[in-house]
Structure 1
Amino acid sequence: MSKVVLITGGSSGIGKSIGEFLKDKGYNVFGTSRNPEKYPESKFPIVALDVTKIETIQSCIAEVLKTAGQIDVLVNNAGAGITGPMEEIPDAEIKRNFETNFFGPINVIKAVLPAMRAQNKGLIINITSIAGYMGLPFRGAYSASKGALEIVTEAFRMELKDFNIEMTNVAPGDFATNIAAGRYHAPVLDNSPYKEKYGHSLKTMDEHVDEGGDPTQMAEAIFKIINTDKPKIHYKVGAFMQKFSVVLKRVLPDKVYERMLMKHYEL
């Protein structure tokens, strides 16, 4: 019997690539979207789910369990970008980003755990970001939400040891997807003291996504993790320098690393 995989945010970008790759490998894949009717050509079923609305999370899990009988793997992929000077991003937008990138995945985990405990097995893969390992200029809210998910996974793993349920993080770098189009961008204000540097950084961020790697790399990484008996706590997937930046943060003095980031972003 093929494993059942549920991928939140599986209708586009990295989630879609993962779903199609696993489907071709023989897995029973379900994706999610807030508007599944928009994806009639999807290679796998798309179930309605909005990670910010608990009732849709519960109904999605119930529908997949009713259809497939079990959920072996949850890929917590749904997320949203946010950019802007920390001083100028509206509080409501920061809270909305945490609802999607942090509280949403936690609530999906909570909804799927009873079924996994009953099965006495399960794997939960949280898609975070290399940006979650460092506070990036004009991406501070995004770094914080993804970093929070990285840390809470460490706690979850230890709490779940008795139930034969594994959990891991996969932190991607920049990949060529439509994530930039879905970001919340704080406007570049004419009277802002950050106008010049934020405007330049915003252009650079979009270029990094456009020039990013093939999201199939993420699909291949997820496939390998699913077929690993004891997954590691953290994985990084992306260009060498993006992954190496995490290593440098561990070994360099804080101010040296800060200067390196500022030089990279031309600040």
Structure 2
Amino acid sequence: MSKVVLITGGSSGIGKSIGEFLHQKGFTVYGTSRNPERITDAIFPLLALDVRKVDTIQAAVNEVISRSGRIDVVINNAGVGITGPLEEIPTEEIKNNFETNFFGPIEVMKAALPQMRAQKSGLIINVTSIAGYMGLPYRSVYSASKGALELITEALRMEVKQFGIQITNVAPGDFATNIASGRYHAPIIKGSSYEKVYGEMLRTMDEHVDNGSNPLDMAVAVYKIIQAPKARVHYKVGAFMQKFSIVLKRILPDTLYEKMLMNHYKL
């Protein structure tokens, strides 16, 4: 019997790549989008879901269970980027980022867990970010929201293990997707103390995404996690130096690591 998979944010980027790969491997895949009627090239069903709206989350989960009778894998992939000097990012935008990147995945897990508990099995994969392992300049809010999801996952996996449910984190580095186009950029303010440095950082960040890894790498990694008998607590997917930066953070003195980051970002 093919496993039933629900992927939030399955209409583009990493989510779409994962969905298409799993569909080709014979999984029963459901993706989600805020506006599925606008997507004309999906090869698996897309359900309406906005992670900021609990009623749409519950409706999508109910639809999967109604159609397939179960839900074996949930991939919390929907997320948004945000950049800017923390001092100049509107508080409303900070809250919106956490609604999407942190509170949204929590609500998706809450909606899926009762069914998984009834089945005595299930796997939840939370897509976080290598940026969630460190505070990155001008990406502070993104680092914080993804880092918070990492810690929630660590705690929740211990709470639900007794029910036969596994939960894990997958932290991607920079991938060549359209995330930059949907990212909230705090405007570059003329005359601001951050104007020059932030403007240069924006260009650097966009270059990193444009030159990022192939999203298919994430799809293969997720497939291997699903096939594994037991999921590890953490996975990292991306360029070697991006993954190695996490190791360096563990072993280097804080001030030396900070200096290394500042040199990397030319600050």
- In the other structure, the counterpart of 2:232 is 232
Structure 1 gaps of 5+ residues are: none
1:26-65 alignment, distance < 5 Å: 26-65=26-65
CA distance in 2, matches of 1:65, 1:127: 22
Poorly superposed stretches of 4+, deviation over 3 Å = none
- In the other structure, the counterpart of 2:14 is 14
- In the other structure, the counterpart of 1:117 is 117
TM, length-normalised to structure 2: 1.00
TM, length-normalised to structure 1: 1.00
- In the other structure, the counterpart of 2:86 is 86
For 1:84, give the aligned amino acid: G
CA distance in 2, matches of 1:171, 1:48: 25
CA distance in 2, matches of 1:209, 1:227: 29
For 2:185, give the aligned amino acid: H
CA distance in 1, matches of 2:266, 2:117: 49
CA distance in 1, matches of 2:61, 2:238: 31
Structure 2 gaps of 5+ residues are: none
Q: CA deviation at 1:41?
A: 2.1
- In the other structure, the counterpart of 2:258 is 258
CA distance in 2, matches of 1:207, 1:38: 28
CA distance in 2, matches of 1:223, 1:254: 35
1:172-251 alignment, distance < 5 Å: 172-251=172-251
Cα-to-partner distance string for 1:95-125 (whole Å, 9 max, x where unaligned): 0000000000000000000000010000000
CA distance in 2, matches of 1:47, 1:160: 27
- In the other structure, the counterpart of 1:73 is 73
CA distance in 2, matches of 1:67, 1:235: 31
* Secondary structure in structure 2 of the residue aligned to 1:10: coil
Cα-to-partner distance string for 1:166-214 (whole Å, 9 max, x where unaligned): 0000000000000000000000001210001100000000000000010
CA distance in 1, matches of 2:82, 2:55: 25
Cα-to-partner distance string for 1:203-234 (whole Å, 9 max, x where unaligned): 00000000001000000000000011111100
- In the other structure, the counterpart of 1:128 is 128
Q: CA deviation at 1:39?
A: 1.2
Provide the aligned length of Structure 1 versus Structure 2. Answer: 267
Q: CA deviation at 1:127?
A: 0.1
* Secondary structure in structure 2 of the residue aligned to 1:5: strand
Superposed CA RMSD: 0.4
CA distance in 1, matches of 2:241, 2:38: 37
